[in-house]
Amino acid sequence: MSEKTFEVNIITPERNFFKDQVDMITVETIDGSLGLLKNASDQVIALVPGGIKITKDGSVLTASYGNGYIKVKNGIVVMLVETAEWPSEIDPSRVKDTIAENEDIIRFKKAHYEHTWGKSNIARALARLKVKNKDE
């Protein structure tokens, strides 16, 4: 373990997505982009759907994730997110179908929660496309 690395765990309801020692991560929060290095202060931060950049040994890995939280405690970072995917796991045609379906939900909403749910699904889909397009 290097003096500059710290542990990152990314967990979804379906799987333990990622666990390793890294040099830096960058995520999207409700207040904008956040970069974390070793010895970041203890905190809990709300995440919005976006992409994570994981820097390790001079290489950068990217992945998309859904809503969730990031907790930094004693130098260990834990991300609890609805979804997480590597670019290779993202099917752009499925993502575009999801966006179209949720645009219809928003357009023909019957309740406030349907509108909010549709917007959330579109945000997550757009984050997935962004990560996939950067990977190609």
Question: Domain 6-85 classified CATH 2.60.15.10?
Answer: yes
**Domain spans in the chain, listed from the N-terminal domain onward:** 6-85, 91-135
Q: Which residues pair with 69 in a beta bridge?
A: 46, 80
- What average pLDDT does the segment 108-124 reach? 75
Can you tell me whether residue 33 is helix, strand or coil?
Answer: strand
Give the pLDDT band (50/70/90) at residue 116: confident
Digit-coded pLDDT (tens) for 71-104: 999 999 999 999 999 999 988 888 888 888 878 7
- What average pLDDT does the segment 27-46 reach? 94
The pLDDT assigned to 79 comes to 97
The pLDDT assigned to 135 comes to 64
Computed over every residue of the chain, the mean pLDDT equals 89
Assigned token pair, 101: 């379906």
